[in-house]
Structure 1
Amino acid sequence: MCDIDEYPRHYGGSGRRNFLKLASTATVLGLVGGGLFSGPTHADALTKAQRDSMTPEQIIEAMKRGNARFQRGERKPRNYLNEQRASASGQYPAAVLLSCIDSRAPAEVIMDLGIGDIFNCRVAGNVENNDILGSMEFACKLAGAKVVLVMGHTKCGAVKGAIANAELGNLTGLLARIKPAVEATTYTGDRSATNYDFVDAVARKNVELTVADIRRDSPVLAELETQSRIKITGAMYNIGTGAVEFFG
């Protein structure tokens, strides 16, 4: 894209005036730069005022809109360097995500998120443990995030490993945390790791159980949710379609 000063050389003085008018309008409408959650006020990274003005439900809706853009092959215009610079002195993420390490399911990309928009905990099988709970408590109680989202995905290798009773070093203990979901999944048919319908059903159940575990294992987060200061919920990302399905 040409610099503003170059525009008149191609289109003349009236072109420059029209360009500046359009640029000003785009800024007012929040179309230039800014994180996923930026509204009418232009910002290169999510501000405290913007984050604090949103409800958990509005934040989730913003994520849904970002995923809809991703599915259309679009993305919000942004300048990552400006976002990095704007957030260097402070961060005000709106949500904390617990997602899988799968390279095909990067939350920031599939929900069109910018630098400073979310905290993201990633671990195979998107399971919770004390370290992740501590991170979530920091994100919500101290840093002000309003949504805790557990996001699983289809064709999850960690879920397949849990179903197949795979064993490998420290991975064995991690997969053990997914096995309750295998046992709790109601499914008529082939309950093997080669049946992706069953794998996906277990992945969904694993998200549901993890959401319940977070409420059970973190009184801090449970209290914040009881006070309606945060929302704890789940989602499933479809590797094949690019769609994120949010639970309730």
Structure 2
Amino acid sequence: MTAKNILNNVSRRNIIKFGAAAIGTSVVTAGIGSKFLSTQPAVANNDLTPDEALERLMEGNQRFISGKSNRPHQTLKDLQSVSASQKPFAAILSCADSRVPSEILFDRGFGDLFICRVAGNVATPEEIGSLEFGTLVLGAKVLLVMGHKNCGAVDATIKGAQVPGQIASLLDAIKPALAKLDPKKAAQLEAGIKANVVYQVAKLQESPVISKLVNDGQLKIVGAYFDFDSGKISWVS
């Protein structure tokens, strides 16, 4: 059964409950979210545990680093095989930077990864809602928040850049992460990027939907840092 079919089968009453729990997760009570989740289990499943899903990601990154990428699930036939439904094993919140293509870095293909890309890899309400869908409904077992070397959004926030349009909203979403940053440290930018990853992980953990999955052992949230020079993904905590 596809996610569309399942969502269509959810009663109007439960949709209203979910709307109350999911819209603006930072201001809604955990009790409302838990009440919904107690009657709406994850609708997609796969045979991986969260640890196995994370291991699969890191094995792919190692293949990429060593120049031995398998490039799985990347043909037209592979795309056609998942055209009716999807069951990604991992969800990723990463930067919109053109140098951070998750499918290449983790040596994956169509249907493997549910990815949200936004400058500064910030957990906005829209990103959180998307990742709630990717984990609760589609069944991703690991949720990775990935910052990267020389992130322009974090750098601009550190420098207090004056920016036009809606760009400022991205910097505002990063500012709280940098509150304890030591301006005297030479490696301030890298420290800020990693601090932002930790902060955005914490924002995701405030979601009653995501936290319930974590508490039930169905999901693991991990912070990561991508180094352009080595191609390596390392952990951030």
Over residues 25-46 of structure 1, what are the superposed CA-to-partner deviations in whole Å (9 max), with x where a residue is unaligned?
A: xxxxxxxxxxxxxxxxxxxxxx
The residue number in structure 1 matching 2:21 is: none
Report matched runs for 1:204-223 at 5 Å.
204-216=194-206, 218-223=207-212
Give the whole-Å Cα distance in 2 for the aligned partners of 1:162 and 1:137.
Answer: 27
Match for 1:131 among 126, 131, 134?
A: 126
Q: Residue 171 of structure 1: CA displacement?
A: 0.5
Which residue of the other structure, out of 168, 184, 205, is the alignment partner of 1:172?
168
The CA deviation at 1:140 is 1.1
Q: Match of 2:225?
A: 236
Describe the shift of the 1:122–1:77 C-alpha distance in structure 2 as closer, same or farther (beyond 3 A): closer
Aligned to 2:68, which of 66, 74, 88? 74
Q: Which residue, out of 170, 180, 202, partners 2:192?
A: 202
Correspondences of 1:15-164 after superposition (within 5 Å): 52-78=46-72, 79-164=74-159
The answer for the alignment partner of 2:23 in structure 1 is none
Deviations 1:150-198 (A, max 9, x none): 00001001111101112221101211111122222346435xxxxxx21
2: CA distance, partners of 1:67 / 1:189:
30
Q: Summarize deviations over 1:79-110 as a string: whole Å, max 9, x none.
A: 42121011112111011100001111111111
2:171 partner letter? L
Letter in 1 for 2:178: V
- The answer to whether the Cα contact below 8 Å between 2:182 and 2:188 also exists between their aligned partners in 1 is no
SS of 1:53's equivalent in the other structure is coil
Moved over 4 A (4+): none
| Cα distance, 1:229 vs structure 2 | 0.9
Larger radius of gyration: 1
Match of 1:245 in 2: 234
> What is the Cα-based RMSD across aligned positions, in Å?
1.8
Report the 3-state secondary structure (helix = DSSP H, G, I; strand = E; otherwise coil) of the residue aligned with 1:178: helix
In the other structure, the counterpart of 1:185 is 181
- Alignment TM-score, normalising by the size of structure 2: 0.77
Paired AA for residue 181 in structure 1: A
Is this contact kept in 1: 2:194–2:236, CA < 8 A? no
In structure 1, list runs of 5 or more residues that go unmatched.
Answer: 1-47, 191-196
Q: Which has the higher contact order (CA 8 A, sep 6+)?
A: 2
Secondary structure of the 1:184 match is: coil
With the length of structure 1 as denominator, give the TM-score of the two structures. 0.74
| 1:204-248 per-position Cα deviation (integer Å, ceiling 9, x unaligned) | 0100011011112x1111111011111111110001110001347
Distance 1:187 1:236 in 2: 21
